Structures are given as C-alpha cells and as structure tokens.
Amino acid sequence: MAGSEFSKTFSRFKLGPLELKNRIAMAPLTRQNAEPDGTPTDEMAAYYARRAVGGVGMIISEGTYPADELGCVAYLSQPGIATQRHIDGWRRAVDAVHAHNVPIILQLMHGGRVSDPRCLHEGESPVSASPLQSEGWVLYTDTDDEKHDRGLSGDWPKVTFPPARELTEAEIERIADCFAEGAARAVEAGFDGVEIHGANGYLYYQFIHPKTNKRTDAYGGSAENNVRAAKLACSRTREAIGPDKIITLRLSQDGVDDFMGAWPGGVDYAREVGRALADCDADALHWSSFDWKDNRDPASDIPMAKAIAEASGKPMIVNGGIADGADAEAVLESGAGDLCAVGRPLFAHPDWPHIIRSGEPFDWIPFDRKYVICPPVDYRHAYPADLVVPDWDPDVSKRRKAD
C-alpha cells in the first residue's frame, strides 16, 4: 500500500484544546534514565525531541511519579515531577519537543503494590486497593548490574514484591491530590496536559481490575466503584490545571505482573467501565495492550477499546502491536479509536511516522527487551547502538518530490 493511502492516519485531530497534525501518539515508555533524584536529563530531552522530529502528532511521556510519598515511586531512576529540579529538567525536554511544534503530555503514575521495594522509605510497605501480594515479574533488563543490584541470579530471573497494605479512604484522597499537584507542576514545566496511568498493573489498575480489588467500600465491588479512585485523580487534576490542558486516562486488562491478564466479565465489564467513565474529567481514554484487537473474551470479538469507547462516548487512543501504516489505518477504520499510540517501534525507529508515510519498504528492527533500560547508546536514537539513521526529510511533501 502506498504511504499516501494512509489518509486517516495522517489526518488532523482535535483532542480537547489540542490540534494534532496526525493520529500518531508516542506511547509512554519507561527508560529509567533520569538522575537518581528523579531529575530528567538532557539525554531525555534529546530522546523526546528526536521522536518529535520523526513526525509523531503527540508525545506521551514515560510514567513519572507526582510525589515521593505513600509508596508512589515505582522505579530507580524514574523521573519525578515532585520538586523544582524536576520541573526545570522536564522544562528542557518540553521546550525541545515544542521547538518541533509537537505537543507533549506527562504520564503520572503510582506503582502501587509493584513499586520497586528499593524505592520505598524505611519501614514502608507497598500500597494497593487491597492487601494482596503481586506474583512478581520477569526482570526487564537481564544485565549483570541489574541482577547484582537486586540480589538475583540466573537467566531472566523473577522480581518479587512484599505484600501490599490496603489504602485508607483518606490516603486515596491524598494520592488523588498528589496527582493534581504533580499535574500543576507539569503545566508549570510547559506540558500540554497529563495522562493518569490506570493501566499495566500499577495502582489505579489495581483498583480497576476485580482480581486485585476486593474492597467492600465505595472504592470496590462494582465497575462503578472500581473506577472511582482513578476518576477522583482525574477530577482533582482538572480542578488543578483547568480546562485548557488535556487529561487522558490509560486503561488495560494486562499488567506488568500479569501479561495475560483478563477482566472477569470480559467485554461486559469493559462496557461497565466505559459507562462509569462517561462523566469523568478525562478528555480521552487510552487503551493499552500488546495487540489492539485483543479482548481475551471468548464470548465476543469486539476490540476492548471499541467497547469502552462506545460505552463512554470518549475519544479513544488505541495502543498495542501497531507495527506499520496498514495497522494504524486498520485501527482507525475499525472505529476502535481516534488515535494510535505506538511504543516499541518508536524505540527503534524515531522516524516511524515519516517512514510509514513514505510508503517505502523498510527493514524494521525487532524489539529486544534487553535494550529497554539505560541502553548504552546515543539517547537521541536510544536503541540499538548500531542503528543507521536514515535520511528521512521531516518534510514529507518535500521528500516525495525529491523521489
């Protein structure tokens, strides 16, 4: 298929107050590349700016902690938006991206029961919706340093977590305020908005997934109750940043400690979640997965994102396994969503949007998880070290003429 045929992918879209030049968003991708105190580095600014040059319509940052309290910090060298240094560091990244007229929003996250125990304060337990223990996950980066630091050995060892403590209602309110305060600092740094992370196994996912939420108060027991904590974070954030900045809310069934995770009730539960989010303060929802068509419900083949979009009436960002232009176009044509979020392909190919738009054949580099964390390479490209930088002209119309 010729690149010019990807007309939906390269059409404009209005997301809240933002005018996006195309339907491609960079998905949030943790790099653990900040300074030890969470300050974003100049390498991070170069890394995000490189993706902006590559033609994405919007960037969603890696998961960032809004506060260093209540077990919020999830990773070593994770960026924060909790201090003035964090604001100043992020401002450099935001300015570098804005120089290419690309909007960028900051993903705010709380790790919940899968926060790295090394990030907890002395005597602190991880927190969650319910007092349950994660089964752990296979280490992302199988390097000797990482294994040594974690006291692990063997090939691809499993990381484990202590049992979680159940959050009180007052603490749930405090965490929502932390998100709002972090969002206000993000706006001070120049971000165009924030994404509330309710996906992938972290705190708000732990509330939304019935498997990890056994509460019997207003925050558990039904789809409506399970989304209440995430909705509270959205509404407090809206109060803090006003109507001119965007808020998105990310959702998934699978998590870092449960890659094949499925919601009991499948599509029916997804529709209940969608209906419960219809009046939330997010401008859009964002469905995260490794295959956007997947719904893991034997009783239905509707993509989960589509079921939630229809039930909520919200614009939908769809993510997962969107590898080339035909995939992106299929997402938009299916009605599953309004925007495509692309993750791993943008690690390897910062020019992914330009490449697919050109319609030229391209030798895609397969993703390798060993490159994920702090790869020893030039961060403007980020992975892998011997990546040849193609001479893609950012101005595609110019490039096509030259061809």
Ligand X SMILES: Cc1cc2nc3c(=O)[nH]c(=O)nc-3n(C[C@H](O)[C@H](O)[C@H](O)COP(=O)(O)O)c2cc1C
Q: Any idea which residues carry the catalytic annotation?
A: 202
Q: Which has the closest alpha carbon to 4: 325, 251, 252?
A: 325
**According to the binding rule CB under 6 A, does residue 63 interact with ligand X?**
yes
Task: Specify the residue, 203 or 215, whose C-beta has the smaller distance to ligand X.
Answer: 203
**CB contact burial 218-240 (16+ within 10 A = b; e otherwise):** ebbeebebbbbbbbbbbbbbbeb
Interacting stretch for ligand X, rule CB under 6 A, among 92-100, 186-194, 210-218, 336-344? 336-344
Binding-residue pattern over the window 103 to 122 for ligand X, x denoting contact by CB under 6 A = ----x---------------
Task: Specify the residue, 35 or 173, whose C-beta has the smaller distance to ligand X.
Answer: 35
As measured in angstroms, the least distance from the Cβ of 303 to ligand X is 14
3-state secondary structure labels for all residues of 17-44:
CEEECCCEEECCCCCCCCCCCCCCCHHH
**According to the binding rule CB under 6 A, does residue 199 interact with ligand X?**
yes
Binding-residue pattern over the window 306 to 335 for ligand X, x denoting contact by CB under 6 A = -------------xxxx-------------
Looking at 200-248, list the stretches that DSSP marks H as alpha helix, in order from N- to C-terminal side: 203-208, 223-226, 228-241
Cis peptide bond N-terminal to 384, omega within 30 = yes
Task: Specify the residue, 218 or 326, whose C-beta has the smaller distance to ligand X.
Answer: 326
Binding-residue pattern over the window 340 to 379 for ligand X, x denoting contact by CB under 6 A = --xxx---------------------------x-------
Whose tokens are 């330009």? That residue is 354
As measured in angstroms, the least distance from the Cβ of 329 to ligand X is 15
As measured in angstroms, the least distance from the Cβ of 366 to ligand X is 12
As measured in angstroms, the least distance from the Cβ of 352 to ligand X is 10
**According to the binding rule CB under 6 A, does residue 80 interact with ligand X?**
no
As measured in angstroms, the least distance from the Cβ of 156 to ligand X is 15
Positive or negative CA dihedral for 360, 363, 369, 375? Answer: negative
Interacting stretch for ligand X, rule CB under 6 A, among 16-24, 166-174, 197-205, 375-383? 197-205
Binding-residue pattern over the window 230 to 259 for ligand X, x denoting contact by CB under 6 A = --------------------x---------
Inter-CA distances, 108 with 66, 89, 204, 359, Å: 6, 16, 11, 35
Interacting stretch for ligand X, rule CB under 6 A, among 218-226, 240-248, 266-274, 339-347? 339-347
Measured in degrees and rounded to the nearest 5, phi and psi for residue 68 equal -100, 65
Residues 257, 293: contact at Cβ < 8 Å?
no
DSSP string, 146-165: HHHHHT--SSSPEE--PPPE
As measured in angstroms, the least distance from the Cβ of 289 to ligand X is 7
Residues 175, 233: contact at Cβ < 8 Å?
yes
Q: Which residue is nearest to ligand X (CB)?
A: 343
As measured in angstroms, the least distance from the Cβ of 19 to ligand X is 24
d(Cα 288, Cα 311) in Å, to the nearest integer? Answer: 17
Copy the structure tokens of residue 352.
């992914």
Inter-CA distances, 137 with 115, 186, 213, 257, 283, Å: 12, 30, 19, 5, 32
**According to the binding rule CB under 6 A, does residue 62 interact with ligand X?**
yes
Pick one of 92, 110, 113, 197: the residue that binds ligand X (CB under 6 A): 197
Task: Specify the residue, 200 or 312, whose C-beta has the smaller distance to ligand X.
Answer: 200
**According to the binding rule CB under 6 A, does residue 290 interact with ligand X?**
yes
Helix or strand run (H / E) with residue 198: strand 193-200
Task: Specify the residue, 215 or 327, whose C-beta has the smaller distance to ligand X.
Answer: 327
Residues 318, 283: contact at Cβ < 8 Å?
no
Task: Specify the residue, 343 or 353, whose C-beta has the smaller distance to ligand X.
Answer: 343
Count of residues that bind ligand X according to CB under 6 A: 21
**According to the binding rule CB under 6 A, does residue 25 interact with ligand X?**
no
d(Cα 260, Cα 270) in Å, to the nearest integer? Answer: 16
Q: Which has the closest alpha carbon to 8: 347, 301, 400, 327?
A: 327
d(Cα 274, Cα 223) in Å, to the nearest integer? Answer: 9
**According to the binding rule CB under 6 A, does residue 288 interact with ligand X?**
yes
Binding interface with ligand X (CB under 6 A) = 27-30, 62-63, 107, 197, 199-200, 250, 288, 290, 319-322, 342-344, 372
